[in-house]
Amino acid sequence: MTKSKQDKPQAGKIYSLTGAPGEACIANGNTWADSEYKEKTKTNPLDSMTEKEIQEAMEVAGMGLSRSDFSDDGADLDEFKEIMEGK
Q: Dump pLDDT digits (tens) for 42-64.
A: 888 888 888 888 878 877 777 66
11-15, 24-28, 32-36, 53-57, range with the lowest pLDDT: 53-57
**φ/ψ of residue 79, rounded to 5:** -65, -40
- What is the chain's alpha carbon radius of gyration, rounded to the nearest angstrom? 25
Alpha-helical (H) ranges within 1-87 are 51-61, 75-84
Structure-model confidence comparison of residues 26 and 3, the more confident one: 26
Rounded Cα distance, 35 and 25, in Å: 5
Q: Report yes or no: 8 and 32 within 8 Å, Cβ to Cβ.
A: yes
- Looking at the chain, how many residues does it have? 87
Confidence band, pLDDT 50/70/90 cuts, at residue 71: low
